[in-house]
């Protein structure tokens, strides 16, 4: 299902349904008030953004630690692999919904709601900022504790009155801290308006570094060698270029010709540098065109070569990556590799990677132009926030890291 179609359904169907469900729940709880219950089975809901599952990991680990709770997660089927990278949630506790059509989405939703009620999930944490669909799932879950972001007197999308723990979304702090605030609301000894009146420190949003065996690393070296037979991991240095972004926000894409110019500039620094252009299988044709335009055998089309689960292994043997603001910038945060993320319509202050990352951001007065208040849909068709970022500026930013890896 296309993103704009999902937005329209969420609006025109979601508004009346959340309103009606609010009336039903208020009526039910008036006659049958729910008893307070310590969270022991916590379901997190984050459907549409793979990067957000990484950003939510500190919150999930905190929930698991403070409540000794069993964690569950609900996500769109195509995004499930992002949860597997860290493994905080057990495989059998991950539920998926197909989003490739209204019928399978409806069918899976009914099945999931039955499963949630059968498992007696006591707590649901809605990580979405603007989805009425997840608000409905939260309200229909039967959970005693229903946690999520609430607009209060701020401008924001109507999502009904379905939460027991209404947390004030703070657009001035990193989203990972906002996610931790959701968990803090569950630990609050008495009700607050709004939740959560606590400080979230920087050390609370760190991520574990995932280590891989020598065998896994050697297998990845061999994989690279199948694409570039002269590759020698003792002498060559891998630089990754991830030039694409999802259809959710195409305005996040830095210009392709600038990536090509950057690749040419990087390759000119040393004969020991190999560029791998990464991406999804559907992006392989465009990556091949980029390689053709660069016209250097050390620029290799690697799009579609790996599964998402294999990407962190590649990151572990690579010197650095330059990427648009997209999932790979977050997937690399569980590895030591230095990642350079080019931001435009979104801000690194809210969505920057939690790993070894440097943000490249022009900071135009119109940027960021997407937020929870506009359903992350921008009217902009002229992304000058990225156009003003030059190839020279990006190269100057990455050059110290590039030099350092060449000296090793």
Sole residue written with tokens 């065998």: 215
Q: Do 322 and 240 sit in the same domain of this protein?
A: yes
Q: What is the pLDDT of residue 245?
A: 57
Final residue belonging to a domain, choices 205, 230, 249: 205
Burial class for 387, CB neighbours closer than 10 Å (0-12, 13-18, 19+):
middle
Q: Domain boundary residue among 172, 205, 238? A: 205
Percentage of residues of the chain with pLDDT beyond 70: 97
pLDDT of residue 314: 98
Are residue 377 and residue 229 in the same domain, yes or no?
A: yes
Indicate the residue among 171, 205, 239 that finishes a domain.
Answer: 205
List % helix, strand, coil for the chain (3-state, nearest 5). 45, 15, 40
Global pTM value: 0.93
Query: Sorting pLDDT into bands at 50, 70 and 90, what band is 249?
Result: low
Same domain for 363 and 235 = yes
Are 279 and 178 in the same domain? no
pLDDT digits over 290-302, tens only?
999 999 999 999 9
Asked if residue 272 and residue 163 are part of one domain, the reply reads no
pLDDT digits over 341-362, tens only? 999 999 999 999 999 999 999 9
- Residues 172, 262, single domain; the answer is no
Residues 305 and 230 placed together within one structural domain of the fold:
yes
Contact 279, 306 (CB under 8 A): no
CB atoms near residue 65 (< 10 Å): 10
Calpha distance 402→358 (Å, rounded): 13
Residues 253 and 349 in one domain: yes
Within this chain, do residues 131 and 262 fall inside the same structural domain, yes or no? no
Q: Which CATH number belongs to the domain containing residue 388 in this structure?
A: 3.40.50.2000
User: How many distinct structural domains can be found in the chain?
Assistant: 2
Residue 40 banded pLDDT, cuts 50, 70, 90: very high
At residue 328, the 3 state secondary structure works out as helix
For residues 196 and 229, state if they share a domain. no
pLDDT at residue 247, rounded to an integer = 62
Q: Find the radius of gyration of the CA atoms of the chain.
A: 22
Q: Are residues 186 and 223 in the same domain?
A: no
> Is residue 104 over pLDDT 80?
yes
Nearest to 122 by CA among 184, 36, 180: 36
The whole-number pLDDT of residue 329 equals 94
Residue 246, pLDDT above cutoff 70? no
Regarding whether 381 and 345 lie in a shared domain, the answer is yes
Total residues belonging to the chain: 408
Q: Residue 162's pLDDT is what? A: 95
Domain carrying residue 131: 3-205
Mean pLDDT of 162-183: 95
Closest-CA residue to 116 (of 74, 88, 149): 74
């Amino acid at each position: 299902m296309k993103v704009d179609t999902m937005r329209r359904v969420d609006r025109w169907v979601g508004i009346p349904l959340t309103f009606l469900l609010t009336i039903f729940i208020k009526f039910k709880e008036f006659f049958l008030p729910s008893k307070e219950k310590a969270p022991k089975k916590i379901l997190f809901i984050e459907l549409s953004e793979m990067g957000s599952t990484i950003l939510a990991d500190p919150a999930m680990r905190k929930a698991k630690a403070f409540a000794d709770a069993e964690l569950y997660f609900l996500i769109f089927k195509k995004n499930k692999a992002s949860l597997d990278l860290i493994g905080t949630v057990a495989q059998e506790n991950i539920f998926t919904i197909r989003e490739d059509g209204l019928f399978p989405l409806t069918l899976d939703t009914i099945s999931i709601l039955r499963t949630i009620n059968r498992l007696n999930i006591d707590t649901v944490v809605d990580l979405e900022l603007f989805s009425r669909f997840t608000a409905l799932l939260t309200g229909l879950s039967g959970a005693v504790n229903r946690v999520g972001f609430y607009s209060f007197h701020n401008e924001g999308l109507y999502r009904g009155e379905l939460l027991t723990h209404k947390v004030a979304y703070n657009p001035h702090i990193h989203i990972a801290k906002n996610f931790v605030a959701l968990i803090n609301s569950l630990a609050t000894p008495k009700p607050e308006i709004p939740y959560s009146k606590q400080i979230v420190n920087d050390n609370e949003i760190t991520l574990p570094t995932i280590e891989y065996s020598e065998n896994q690393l050697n297998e990845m070296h061999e994989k690279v060698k199948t694409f570039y037979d002269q590759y020698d991991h003792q002498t060559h240095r891998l630089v990754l270029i991830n030039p694409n972004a999802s259809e959710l926000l195409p305005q996040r894409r830095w210009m392709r010709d600038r990536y090509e110019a950057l690749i040419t500039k990087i390759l000119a620094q040393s004969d020991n540098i190999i560029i791998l252009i990464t991406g999804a299988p559907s992006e392989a044709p465009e990556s091949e065109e980029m390689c053709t335009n660069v016209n250097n055998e050390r620029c290799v089309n690697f799009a579609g070569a790996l599964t998402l689960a294999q990407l962190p292994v590649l990151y572990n043997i690579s010197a650095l990556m330059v990427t648009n603001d997209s999932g790979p910038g977050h997937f690399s945060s569980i590895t030591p590799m230095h990642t350079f993320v080019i931001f435009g319509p979104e801000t690194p202050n809210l969505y920057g990677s939690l790993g070894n990352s440097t943000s490249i951001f022009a900071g135009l007065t119109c940027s960021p132009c997407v937020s929870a208040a506009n359903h992350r849909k921008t009217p902009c068709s002229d992304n000058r926030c990225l156009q003003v970022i030059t190839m020279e500026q990006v190269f100057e930013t990455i050059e110290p890291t590039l030099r350092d890896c060449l000296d090793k």
